[in-house]
Amino acid sequence: MELLPLPKEIRKLSCLRTLEWVYVGDDREAFSLGDLESLNLLQGLLVLEGLGNVGNINGAKQAQLKKKKGINTMHFTFDGEEGDWRISHDEQLLEVLEPPPNLEFLDILHYEGTVFPSWIMSLTNLKRIVLDDFNNCEKLPPLGKLPFLERLGLWSMKRLKMLGVEFLGIETSSQHGISSADAAFPKLTSLVLGSLEEWEEWDDGMNTNGEEDITNFIILPCLCSLSIWDCPKLELETLTDYLLRKMSEFEDCLKKEERREKAKQISNL
């Protein structure tokens, strides 16, 4: 089914409250990101597809998504033409598409950039994040600092090799002490890690016996479900007993012998 842009006349509907799906592109005769400027009463879900084809970054700034405070769910889909030019393009475009500060649910798909936008850690009301099909990102922002995040999905991040204390949001320098009240992912209940083909290690600040290497902090205190699948390079010894106890799904990771040993460990916990 071919995706078609919306008619440009929709931009005149300044009282419009529901516009759940928008396919954007470079057709000047069709609805573009800039045409969202006057639609500040939108509520609920807003899906933006075709972002990989957007040529006018300056025009995209006119969308002023952060002013649309009624929107609580946003999906950014960077489908479009491929090429090395997409790295800079996607980074610049995502930076100007800053959502409203009260956003609760955020999905980003097919992103070709190497870095995350500066605004992502300002979305302190986020309850769910899904990052899917990222070809170039090697590091993640300190998502563990988001106070109300409940669900997190990381899928098909092709260059991600390690999840470390930076991802958890743990500050380890002597200049920034950690109080006993600090927690990484304080509300997270569900974590899904899938198709991370280069992921080798998870450093959660604890050794494999579950003893803290970094003092005075709590990791994932509310975690109920941990799913890991299709991560063939993940090393067994980087997962602590605490993470093993939370694991609800574990498949297509490590060698067959290692998976068998992992299953024995889980059954004995």
Written as six digits, the tokens of 198 are: 């280069």
pLDDT of amino acid 255: 46
- Residue spans of the domains in the chain: they are 8-171+181-268
pLDDT of amino acid 31: 83
pTM of the model: 0.85
User: Cα separation of 199 and 191, whole Å?
Assistant: 15
pLDDT of amino acid 207: 45
pLDDT of amino acid 206: 57
CB 88 within 8 Å of CB 94:
no
Per-residue pLDDT of 183-212, as tens digits, reads: 899 999 999 999 999 999 888 665 444 444
CATH class for the domain made up of 8-171+181-268: alpha beta
pLDDT of amino acid 178: 41
HEC-encoded secondary structure of 154-210: EEEECCCCEECHHHHCCCCCCCCCCCCCCEECCCCCEEEEECCCCCCEECCCECCCC
Written as six digits, the tokens of 234 are: 């993940």
User: Cα separation of 99 and 36, whole Å?
Assistant: 13
CB 152 within 8 Å of CB 191:
yes
Q: Which of 24, 82, 106 is nearest to 57 (CA)?
A: 24
Under-50 pLDDT residues of the chain:
173-181, 207-215, 255-257, 259-260, 262-264, 266-267, 269
pLDDT of amino acid 217: 67
**Separation in Å, CA 140 to CA 6, 34, 146, 166, 183:** 34, 29, 13, 8, 18
DSSP state of 262: H
pLDDT of amino acid 124: 97
